Amino acid sequence: MCRFRRPIASQYTDADLQTREGQLGVFSLRGHARVSRSRASRIRGRMALGSDCGLGSAPAATLQPLNVLGQSDLFGNYDTQPVAGDETRIQGDNPEEVDRFISSSGAAVALKRKAALNEPAGPLYAQGHSTSTSWKDDDFYGININALLDKIEAQAHDNDATGGDEEEEQGDGGLHKGEPQAQKLWVEKWRPKSFVDLIGNEKSDRILLAWLRQWSFAAFKEEPPNPPKAEDSNDDKSVRDIDPYQRPYKRILLIHGPPGIGKTSVAHILAKHAGFAVSEINASDERAGPLVKQKVQNTLFNHTFNDRPVCLVADEIDGSIESGFVKVLLDILYQDGKATNQARYRNMQSTFSKKKKNKKTSKVLLRPIVAICNNLYAPALEKLRPHCQIISFKRPADSALQERLQHICKSERLLISKKVVNNLIDLSQGDVRNCINNLQFLSKQKYSDESILSVKSNEEIEGIGSNQKDTSMSWFKVVNDIFKKDNNREVREQFYEVLKNVEMNGNYDRIVQGCFALYPTVKYSDNGVKKPASITDWLYFQDLMHKSLYTHNGELLRYCPTVPLSFFHHFGDVANKTDQRIKNPEYEQREILKQNSDIVSSIQDGVSSVAPKRSTFLNQKTLVNDILPFLDHMLSVDVLKVKDNKMKVLLIDRMLAILEAFQLSINQMENELTDSRPILTIDPPIDKIVVFDSKKIKEIVTKRPHVLNLLFAKSEENKVKKRHIDKVTKEKAALEDNKYKNKKARTFGSNSVDFFKKQYESINLSSQSETGNSSAKHVNNNFTPGDTTPTPKDSVRIWVRYKSGFSNAVRKNVSWDALWQ
Amino acid sequence: MSLWVDKYRPRTLKQLNHSDELTHLLTSLQEQPRDLPHLLLYGPNGAGKKTRCMCLLESIFGGGVYRLKIDVRHFVTPSNRKLELNVVSSPYHLEITPSDMGNNDRIVIQELLKEVAQMEQVDFENSKDGIAHRYKCVVINEAHSLTRDAQAALRRTMEKYSRNIRLIMICDSMSPIIAPIRSRCMLIRCPAPTDDETIKILAEVASKENVKVESGSVFQKIVEQSSGNLRVATLMLESMSLCNEMQLKMSTPILKPDWMVVISNIGVKVTRERNVACLVECRSILYDLLSHCIPAKTILQELTFALIKDTSLDKTKRIDILSHASTFDERLALGNKVIFHLEGFLARVMCTLDGTS
Amino acid sequence: MFEGFSSNKRRKVDNTESKEENKPWVEKYRPKNLDEVTAQDHAVNVLKKTLKSADLPHMLFYGPPGTGKTSTILALTKELFGPELTKSRVLELNASDERGISIVREKVKNFARLTVSKPSKNDLEKYPCPPFKIIILDEADSMTADAQSALRRTMETYSSVTRFCLICNYITRIIDPLASRCSKFRFKSLDESNAMDRLQYVAKQESVICEDGALEKILIVSSGDLRKAITLLQSSSKLRNYTGTDKVTSKQVEELAGRVPNDILGELVEKIASKDLDAIIAYVNNFAKSGWSGVSVISQLHDYYIMSDNFDTAFKNRISLILFDTDAKLTNGTNEHLQLLNLVVQISNI
């Protein structure tokens, strides 16, 4: 944009300019309330120096003379005098509000600016932000995040130091002045900072803390204060003992639960308590590719400048793609497993020394990793789950939540009745973050001159979620009003009022959903079920109209208000006087559905990874409708009651075969029903999908674990047998191979390299026959750390070095067919 | 080791054990593999369409078709969303389920098929008559869920690339398939096995697995319950034998999937009490069923059949129930919120049973 | 390792032969010039005239499937431009190509903008190469309304060098502005005689012997769709190799077309007439297990009831309502078994 410089002095008088400047100044500041001074002044500058921008504020009706217009910056025919005036103006932190200009005639002009209104700094701006022009400080480009973070830290320190009173004062003071100053979000302000602030899930918190403490040997090189609890590791204590760093058996902790109940906060607090510094990776960070690998490696394996070791918190992990972050974690675990084995090895056999250092040293994992997710059965977590210890977080109890909310309200000087708090908790379905947000929202509605806010009635609550216009009501209220009928007023009038309310609200889908949820519980008169039968036609109408949102640009939505009217017509009754709470099971149902379909797809994936041949005949429909229910029946056979031993064996074999065919494993999982101790269940839990009968569900908890125990024992037995058999067959094969190789060696003549190779193989054979460990076929083709039995002490290593270019190093017959497959 | 369903699944055309005319047809097709037309296999669920398709492929290409591996292919929609699709492939054929992608299945058809078609097959495998097969087979599962756009994209591809691709589409019913595709394919109807054939098959399986069966009427009962679905019948047989120590008697209870039991309970409930309280209970049961991944259409179908089976009802009432079922079936197909319509159906049925309509 | 190679000599890779045999007969016998197009005299005459005058309007071909729309325009382009020039002068986009609005804006527009290439002398002699390009948009009814709108201005602006030809089945799916810019050609479905000639020609070329009445049956079954008829002929001729007969029988044709055999239909009708609800339900359950397509059942029932003289008008009235209702529901993708049961029971109740 060309900047035209007018000879200001020649055109206008000073007084004129003053007002014009002042007006422009005011305009710019008013129009762009949050814009920094620098930008405003630049705009002003442009507007002043440019020709009429049509802003209409100035009385400048006269056109500029042509000779003036020709002068523009682009061609550089302007005064060589530096634009000092402008500069001072732009950079001016000029307290006197007097600006200096240099007009084109060279004279210096001083203009006094009219006092502008104070910029109402938004809550995100602290006072006194910098007004320099460098682009980094220009808020147009964004907030200087580092400065803000520093400020937050400083504030947090202050708060910590002086305790709660100051918070109250601050809160008080903020409200007193009537303007929202640098107010923090209450969610951030009231984030729990210590163990005692946490609500709900006490048991899970303790488990988490215990798990973290177990890392103290690895991280701090000190003994853990308490012996490890029994519930943490159910199997091989022996393995744990051998672990040279005394870490827990499962190296990653996975916390899962609904949103907003405190999972991330807990992880941070407990990590701090246990003495770690927390490094967080969440969904907003780059979580794919080499970047994240670098970052994770840095946090876990390098020393930091903090005094404390680092604990890695991986938040929102179910959103990451499988090949990204999850793979990095798996790699780390794998390396750790290898390194642990080496370390264990080293412990047993201190005389062993490595001649050659491998390029890639496997690193032992010495820092804890905590992962947080919402959906435990998300596909991204499939591979990670077996290596994690899983803790589930539930919604906090209403009473604890209430207490906390009351405490917050007291501190923020918000008077609120218990009933309203209860309503709030219901609305948000136990989500603490949501509650606190809503409270803050409520309080913000009226920051008038009152120093004390009071939320007396339910209406305030219902204002949440809708526009805060005075004329509209929340959908909550609208729905309840639909079912009320007043005999004193004319029906037509009421009709019209309901229509008005509905249209004003505009949230047709929610309203109809609410009506649908509520109508069975309101009082109305009916002949049998006639009215529900007839209302269903209207519901169909609503469904179709709503669907037009996707197909016809929502043009048919304008007909939706008629549906609530029909509800009024059918179900409105004088007897409905009180407002009822509307429960919406849709959300929960969707969550459960998602979880179940994830389970089904994980089963399908499991089968396809092992036997793709079979998996082509499976799809979700056949699995859910046909196969899984019968599978469940088959696995619920009560084998213990069978008397005939042969039959028993047969049945058990059958069941084991089925388990393997569908890649189901038997694990210890904690049970939601009993909530006491973990029991054996099938993983992935097919019973969750197919079993409806409540009696059967109880049976799963009580009777089945016995059967599963038996199966588990048998399967372990089979595994050992298999290993043995494999070992023997491998021996045989190796012997035969050896014979063949010997024959070959004889026919080809002894080559120096071949000679060594032969020796290597024969020695290796003898060592292998003692171990047979590599044949422990992992059932899931997953790496399970700690599963490999320790290699024996005296396996000899032979290193054969080949000169590069020597092509008979490895000789393998490749058939023509193999090339084309 | 796997379920009996998989163990006794026929792998070649010769092993197919029901619907012999169909087997003849398929055998004739594979006599001249070069002329294989595009195929459309349709029929009820559990009748063996997929099995037959694999048998046909096996007879054309040899046992190599069972060497399957699964790839994940990525596609980018025009709105720059990345999608993944599982593609099962063997050296001779490719198998996809485009309806997994939902509304974006058109992109799969366009890109994937074009890609496959444009690759010339360099295959020197020795086949029966020494002539290299020049084409690859693409099996499309659940072709009835393809969107109209995808079908439109498909029809042109079928014409243009018929030299390098032969399509085999498997669907439950032919009605959603548009006419141009139907005219370009050979329609093969795969009927469900008759009762006698099913009994014969079950008897064979039972004898091979050494299950002691008291009498043939046990099979009869199973066949009735499974209503033409061979897969369900075999599963039923297996689970019953396991639960009863490999012995089947007349008194053995027939095991049914849980969801079926629940649905028939709803039917019983509805006939017994007809008031709003019952409606509320049924609503929660319906929510339960829906969240356990049972599709709404199945619920409606089973519910209707359960209600009609009751012969004590008046004839006109049953006819009315049927017509309500058909109306609400359409609403389920056209609308989004299934719970509205399912509950509406229950309410209507209650009204009908009351005598008011 | 070299064993594989030697047997290669014995192997014949029949390239040329298999090319021809592999082709579906529909492709093989597609009309290669305008004269070969049967039964669409009106459209063909107009187009022939334009051949001479080299003044082509924008065209919109519509009509039921299998009537020769795509064949006509392809034949036309072949006659206008000859094989070499066609590549540079004709752009064909059909539903298998990406035809979203962005493609319309780029690809189509760019092609339309190009100046017409000068034909070689050779071509000029043989073909009337008129000085414009042709863009063929096949299956235009599956283009979104937005993409179609983006097309309108392009059509107008470059009409001097480019002509558009839209092909669709349902003209209502083409937005009005586009339809008004084109001259519409309606392709009607083929009547018996024309189609019969063509079918007999194909049968003779492929040396297929048919039973009497088999060809007629084919035409009835395909109801005016010539593509369907030829495909049916091809499939049934393949089938006869195995069944051992030389001739194509009408029974085979029916089976291949997915129509219910008459005897089974007769049984169904009997049960309906008996008005015994339980028997009907049991019969339909069995029927559904056979997997017959609901659509064909409906059309056959329609033929049976409406076309026959045994029933009175009121009855036919009510039946047609029920049939229509069920057909609509089936196209919307509902449960076939349920709808069929409902249909049958309603009919029996009349």
Q: What CATH number does the domain located at C192-257 have? A: 1.10.8.60
Pairing of strands B165-171, B136-140: parallel
H or E segment to which residue A25 belongs: helix A14-31
pLDDT band at A4 (very low <50, low <70, confident <90, very high): very low
Tokens of A166: 């100051």
Q: Which 3 state secondary structure label does DSSP give C209? A: strand
Q: Which 3 state secondary structure label does DSSP give A384? A: coil
Q: Is the Cβ pair C1, A816 closer than 8 Å? A: yes
Tell me the chain B residues in contact with residue C290 when contact means C-beta distances shorter than 8 Å.
Answer: 189, 191-192
Shortest alpha-carbon distance between residue C1 and chain A (Å): 6
Tens digits of per-residue pLDDT, A478-505?
Answer: 888 888 887 788 888 888 888 888 888 8
The span from the first CA to the last CA of chain B, in angstroms, equals 55
Q: For residues B43 and B38, what is the distance between their CA atoms, to the nearest angstrom?
A: 17
- Whole-angstrom CA distances from B88 to A613, A775, B85, B98 are 9, 29, 10, 12
Q: For residues A657 and A610, what is the distance between their CA atoms, to the nearest angstrom?
A: 13
- Average pLDDT (A798-813) is 65
Tens digits of per-residue pLDDT, A20-61?
Answer: 444 443 333 343 434 444 444 454 544 444 444 444 334 444
Q: Which 3 state secondary structure label does DSSP give B42? A: strand
Q: For residues C245 and A549, what is the distance between their CA atoms, to the nearest angstrom?
A: 58
Residue (of A79, A144, A130) closest to A107 by Cα position: A79
Q: Which 3 state secondary structure label does DSSP give A669? A: strand
- Residues in chain B with pLDDT values less than 70: 1, 120-134, 356-357
Amino acid at the residue B292: H
Amino acid at the residue A156: A
Amino acid at the residue C273: A
Mean pLDDT of chain A: 69
pLDDT band at A433 (very low <50, low <70, confident <90, very high): confident
In the DSSP assignment, the letter for residue B192 is P
Q: For residues A361 and A767, what is the distance between their CA atoms, to the nearest angstrom?
A: 24
Pairing of strands A453-455, A310-314: unpaired
Residue (of B256, B200, B258) closest to B232 by Cα position: B256
B4-189 belongs to CATH 3.40.350.10: no
Q: For residues C298 and C327, what is the distance between their CA atoms, to the nearest angstrom?
A: 7
Tens digits of per-residue pLDDT, A622-640?
Answer: 888 888 888 888 887 777 7
Provide the greatest CA pair distance for chain B.
Answer: 73
Q: Is the Cβ pair A526, B276 closer than 8 Å? A: yes
In chain B, CATH 3.40.50.300 sits at: 4-189
A567 in contact with B at a CB cutoff of 8 Å? no
Tell me the chain C residues in contact with residue B308 when contact means C-beta distances shorter than 8 Å.
Answer: 281
**Residues A631 and A661: beta-carbon distance below 8 Å:** no
Choose from A543, A621, A813, A816 for mutation: most chain C CBs within 10 A.
A816
In chain B, CATH 1.20.272.10 sits at: 258-354
What pLDDT score was predicted for residue A140?
58
Residue (of A424, A375, A383, A388) closest to A404 by Cα position: A424
| CA A611 remoteness from chain centre | 34
pLDDT band at A450 (very low <50, low <70, confident <90, very high): very low
B195-248 belongs to CATH 3.55.10.10: no
Q: Is the Cβ pair A614, B238 closer than 8 Å? A: no
What is the CATH superfamily name and number for domain C31-186?
A: P-loop containing nucleotide triphosphate hydrolases (3.40.50.300)
Shortest alpha-carbon distance between residue C330 and chain B (Å): 6
DSSP-assigned letters across all residues of A30-46: HHTTTS-HHHHHHHHHH
Count the Cβ atoms, other than its own, within 10 Å of residue A749.
Answer: 7
Tracing tokens 């720059």 back to the chain, one arrives at: B80
B157 in contact with C at a CB cutoff of 8 Å? yes
> Which residues, in sequence order, are bridge partners of residue B170?
B41
Q: Which 3 state secondary structure label does DSSP give B357? A: coil
Tell me the chain B residues in contact with residue C65 when contact means C-beta distances shorter than 8 Å.
Answer: 179-180, 183
In chain B, CATH 1.10.8.60 sits at: 195-248
**What fold does the segment set C262-348 form as a domain?**
Zinc Finger, Delta Prime; domain 3 (1.20.272)
Winning range, highest mean pLDDT, from A65-74, A98-107, A504-513, B194-203: B194-203
Q: For residues A245 and A341, what is the distance between their CA atoms, to the nearest angstrom?
A: 12
Q: For residues A419 and C270, what is the distance between their CA atoms, to the nearest angstrom?
A: 69
A817 in contact with C at a CB cutoff of 8 Å? yes
Q: For residues A295 and A277, what is the distance between their CA atoms, to the nearest angstrom?
A: 15
Q: Is the Cβ pair B70, A608 closer than 8 Å? A: yes
Share of chain C above pLDDT 70, in %: 90
Tokens of C87: 């590549």
Residue (of A557, C84, C233) closest to B186 by Cα position: C233
The domain B258-354 is placed in CATH, from the list 3.40.50.970, 1.10.645.10, 1.10.150.120, 1.20.272.10, at: 1.20.272.10
Q: Is the Cβ pair B228, C94 closer than 8 Å? A: no
**Residues A271 and A315: beta-carbon distance below 8 Å:** no
Tens digits of per-residue pLDDT, A282-321?
Answer: 777 766 667 778 888 887 777 666 677 888 888 888 776 6
- Average pLDDT (C271-285) is 87
Residue (of A250, A255, A390, A385) closest to A313 by Cα position: A255
Share of chain A above pLDDT 90, in %: 0
Tell me the chain C residues in contact with residue A815 when contact means C-beta distances shorter than 8 Å.
Answer: 1
- Angle subtended at Cα A649 by Cα A645 and Cα A653, rounded to the nearest 5 degrees: 170
| Chain B nearest-CA residue for A535 | B344
Q: For residues C29 and A563, what is the distance between their CA atoms, to the nearest angstrom?
A: 58
Q: Is the Cβ pair B110, C97 closer than 8 Å? A: yes
Sequence-distant contacts of B217-222: CB under 8 A, at least 24 apart: B217/B250, B218/B248, B218/B249, B218/B250, B218/B252, B220/B195, B221/B254, B222/B254
Count the Cβ atoms, other than its own, within 10 Å of residue A755.
Answer: 12
H or E segment to which residue A109 belongs: strand A108-112
Tens digits of per-residue pLDDT, C198-222?
Answer: 888 888 888 888 877 888 888 888 8
Count the Cβ atoms, other than its own, within 10 Å of residue B265.
Answer: 15
**Residues C238 and B39: beta-carbon distance below 8 Å:** no
**Residues A595 and A375: beta-carbon distance below 8 Å:** yes
**Residues A570 and A531: beta-carbon distance below 8 Å:** yes
Assign 3-class secondary structure to A627-642.
HHHHHHHHHCCCHHHC
Shortest alpha-carbon distance between residue B198 and chain A (Å): 17
Q: Is the Cβ pair B66, A613 closer than 8 Å? A: yes
Amino acid at the residue A123: P
**Residues C297 and C340: beta-carbon distance below 8 Å:** yes
Tens digits of per-residue pLDDT, A562-583?
Answer: 888 888 888 888 877 777 777 7
| Chain C nearest-CA residue for A552 | C145
Mark out the alpha helices in chain C (DSSP H runs): 3-10, 15-22, 25-28, 41-53, 69-89, 101-103, 109-113, 121-126, 145-157, 176-181, 192-205, 214-222, 226-243, 250-257, 262-274, 277-290, 294-307, 313-331, 336-349
Tens digits of per-residue pLDDT, A206-243?
Answer: 888 888 888 877 777 766 555 544 444 444 444 445 56
Residue (of A333, A355, A337) closest to A345 by Cα position: A337
Mark out the alpha helices in A196-326 (DSSP H runs): 202-214, 216-220, 237-242, 263-273, 290-301
**Residues A174 and A411: beta-carbon distance below 8 Å:** no
Shortest alpha-carbon distance between residue B52 and chain A (Å): 11
In the DSSP assignment, the letter for residue A51 is S
Contacting residues for C83 by C-beta, under 8 A, at least 6 apart: none
H or E segment to which residue C167 belongs: strand C162-168
What pLDDT score was predicted for residue A295?
81
B167 in contact with C at a CB cutoff of 8 Å? no
Chain A to chain B, count of Cβ pairs less than 8 Å apart? 198
ipTM of the complex: 0.86
Residue (of C158, C161, C157, C104) closest to C133 by Cα position: C161
- Tell me if the pTM is above 0.80: no
Choose from C97, C345, C347 for mutation: most chain B CBs within 10 A.
C345
Annotated domain spans of chain C: 31-186, 192-257, 262-348
Tens digits of per-residue pLDDT, A518-549?
Answer: 888 888 887 778 888 888 899 999 888 888 87
pLDDT band at A651 (very low <50, low <70, confident <90, very high): confident
Tell me the chain C residues in contact with residue A814 when contact means C-beta distances shorter than 8 Å.
Answer: 1
